[in-house]
Amino acid sequence: MRVTIFGATGLLGKALLREWHEDEVTGLGSRDVDIRSEEQVRVSILRYRPEWVVLAAAYTDVDGCETNRDLALDVNCKGAVNVVRAAAQVSARVIFLSTDYVFDGAKNCPYEIDDPIAPQCVYGQTKAAAESEIRKILPEACILRTSWVFGVGGKCFPETILKLASTHQQLDVVDDQRGCPTYTPDLARIIMQLCRKGAMGTVHATNRGDCTWFEFAREIVALAGLKTQVRPTTSDKFVRPAKRPAYSVLSSASLQEYGIIVPTWQDALPRYLAERGFRP
């Protein structure tokens, strides 16, 4: 199977390249192709003629999207459309990485794939717009929503917590936002399986289990053997440019339909820390 990954230098892209060994995989980063350029994308697709395209390229700075709306739209929606149109020309299948931030966070039970979307921030809005356009161009595309992605090789929540904990005796972390941490190697393996199973439609994919950011941070610090005290606080004490959903837990039902079972985030976190050189 020939696979082309757009966004290969990102957190997930790096994990995909590390994990994907059994197929002919090509990884393209932003230096290789700017997905905002329809011509660059077309040339790349025609050169590699993939059977599957994994579209992981995105502008993921959630707060940055609020002040760079045009860039967010150009990359997350228009760029995604460029890739999907080019993929359709060579009859390639597509997995597009979307986000829990397409939901408003008003529920108190896991979001199903057919729940109404109502993104509250620019990042979520641009991803939601891309979802809609992709379905029009390539109805058989797989829209893969995930959340709270972490892994080695880039910026992520555990990385930030470990850095802060090395220089602070106390950390205040919000305890009123709940979601599902997702480890990039586990997500990469999900994507590989979905390609092999010919996945179509919308799928929610995260590690099993949910927590608040405070609960996640407390576990990170404890497993890393650090002495920093992690204290719960509320979102109104940490006002950010982008509004985050208070609850964005994604149901695993759609993934289970493909027979894919994913480890819990509590299983994933020690593996991440081991990669970082800690020995939980």
**pLDDT tens digits for range 107-164:** 999 999 999 999 999 999 999 999 999 999 999 999 999 999 999 999 999 999 999 9
CATH code of domain 2-148+182-208+249-263: 3.40.50.720
| C-alpha dihedral sign at 156, 157, 158, 161 | positive
Q: What's the rounded Cα separation, in Å, for the pair 77 and 128?
A: 8
What's the whole-model pTM score? Answer: 0.97
Tell me which residue has tokens 């959340």. 147
Contact between 247 and 107 under an 8 Å Cβ cutoff? The reply is yes
Q: Is the pLDDT of residue 280 over 70?
A: no
Q: What's the rounded Cα separation, in Å, for the pair 229 and 46?
A: 54
C-alpha pair distances (Å), 101 with each of 10, 114, 280: 19, 15, 31
- What Rg, from alpha-carbon coordinates, does the chain have? 18
Q: Among 143, 71, 66, 138, which residue's Cα sits nearest to residue 100?
A: 143
Element holding 189 (H helix, E strand): helix 184-196
Residues with catalytic function: 123
In degrees and rounded to multiples of 5, residue 246 shows phi and psi of -70, -30
Q: Is the pLDDT of residue 78 over 90?
A: yes
Q: What percent of the chain has pLDDT over 90?
A: 98
Give the tokens for residue 189: 């393996």
In the chain, % helix, strand, coil (3-state, to 5) comes to: 40, 20, 40
Give the tokens for residue 14: 């790096």
Band of the pLDDT at 58, cuts 50, 70, 90? Answer: very high
Residues in the chain: 280
Q: How many CB atoms lie within 10 A of CB 144?
A: 25
